[in-house]
Amino acid sequence: MRSDWNVLPKAVTTEIAVRVGGIIDVHAAPNGDHAEIASTVTGSTGRVFVKAAGGEFSVRSLRYELAATLAIDGHPPVVLWHFECDGWLVVGVEHLAGPHPDLSPGGADLDLLAVALKGLQETPAPGGRWFTPEARLGFVHPAMDGGMLIHSDLNPANLIKTARGLRIVDWAWASKAAPWVELALLVQWLIGSGHTPEQAEEWLAQFPAWTNVDREVVDHFASRNATKWSAKSRGTAERWVHDLAAWAGEWVAHRHGSRR
Ligand SMILES: Nc1ncnc2c1ncn2[C@@H]1O[C@H](COP(=O)(O)OP(=O)(O)O)[C@@H](O)[C@H]1O
Ligand SMILES: [Mg+2]
């Protein structure tokens, strides 16, 4: 849950100020709400994106995200510095200037996503302890296990278009899995961006991990994923949960329909 910058203890903001050459401006990120503090900080030495956590759960999550961000090359923002002070973990990363991609069908940004995904699909999980598919998603299938690194939350707000291609932020849910799981998790966001389930699956067919996975395995995934989001949506009024439940539901309805 997002907090205001002013909750940071003075000692913490002083440490940040030292690293950016004095804080000139702080601008909270408009999207996402997992991290307690996620803000663009402008200092005399330039811009830095700062994530900070003070609660026990959020410190654990940000520590995990920091480990993932440090372990992966090219896709995430570069980690510039990090420190702990007064119970807060604070991480400063490269500020990525650019819009989020438009993942609607046929759009040019999909090509950027394909390039980024092809690299990521071939990235083995680095050494360390990463979420298993079961720990990440809450359901299992032996075919979901694997040795590759997946981001697992490639919603457009976690993607930024830059001069160096599409960059991926927010590695708090990085997992070690079979690479098709990344693609299966993308379906709901493609549908949310205007794809029909057929169009989403057609686009994914360019990835070998997608074409090689058994149809029954994907059916199982789609079904468990839809059930999960539908159950979650019954317990909350949050719009994004209801959106995901609807998109996951569209996909599973399509898979059931196309089996007949
Ligand atoms: N390195 C960065 N540079 C610029 N903007 C960023 C950067 N990292 C994240 N953002 C923006 O801030 C938002 C929230 O950050 P994110 O890491 O996704 O936090 P959360 O865990 O709250 O979703 C992102 O959706 C993106 O718009
Ligand atoms: Mg995010």
Give how many domains the chain has, as a whole number: 2
Cα 255 to averaged position of ligand 1 atoms, centre (Å):
33
The answer as to whether 103 is a domain residue is: no
Written as tens digits, the pLDDT of the chain (260 aa) is: 778 899 999 999 999 999 999 999 999 998 767 789 999 999 999 999 999 999 999 999 999 999 999 999 899 999 999 999 999 999 999 999 999 999 999 999 999 999 999 999 999 999 999 999 999 999 999 999 999 999 999 999 999 999 989 999 999 999 999 999 999 999 999 999 999 999 999 999 999 999 999 999 999 999 999 999 999 999 999 999 999 999 999 999 999 886 54
Is the distance from the beta carbon of residue 33 to the nearest atom of ligand 1 less than 6 Å? yes
Whether the CA torsion 143, 258, 192, 107 is positive or negative: it is positive
Q: What is the pLDDT of residue 3?
A: 81
Beta bridge partners of 39: 28, 50
Q: Are residues 49 and 120 in the same domain?
A: no
The answer as to whether 145 is a domain residue is: yes
d(CA 219, CA 183): 13
Number of other CB atoms surrounding residue 33 within 10 Å: 11
Q: What is the pLDDT of residue 260?
A: 44
Mutation probe of ligand 1 site: the residue of 169, 173, 189, 238 with most atoms within 8 A of C-beta: 169
Q: What is the pLDDT of residue 258?
A: 66
Q: What is the pLDDT of residue 134?
A: 97
Q: Are residues 130 and 255 in the same domain?
A: yes
User: Which residues 6+ apart lie within 8 Å of 245 measured at CB?
Assistant: 226, 229, 230, 232, 233
Q: What is the CATH number of the domain that holds 27?
A: 3.30.200.20
d(CA 107, CA 127): 36
Q: What is the CATH number of the domain that holds 163?
A: 3.90.1200.10
Mutation probe of ligand 1 site: the residue of 49, 57, 65 with most atoms within 8 A of C-beta: 49
Backbone torsion region of residue 181, taken as left when φ is above 0, otherwise alpha when ψ lies between -120 and 50, otherwise beta:
alpha
Q: Are residues 61 and 143 in the same domain?
A: no
Place of tokens 């401006």: 25
Q: Are residues 130 and 238 in the same domain?
A: yes
Q: What is the pLDDT of residue 26?
A: 96
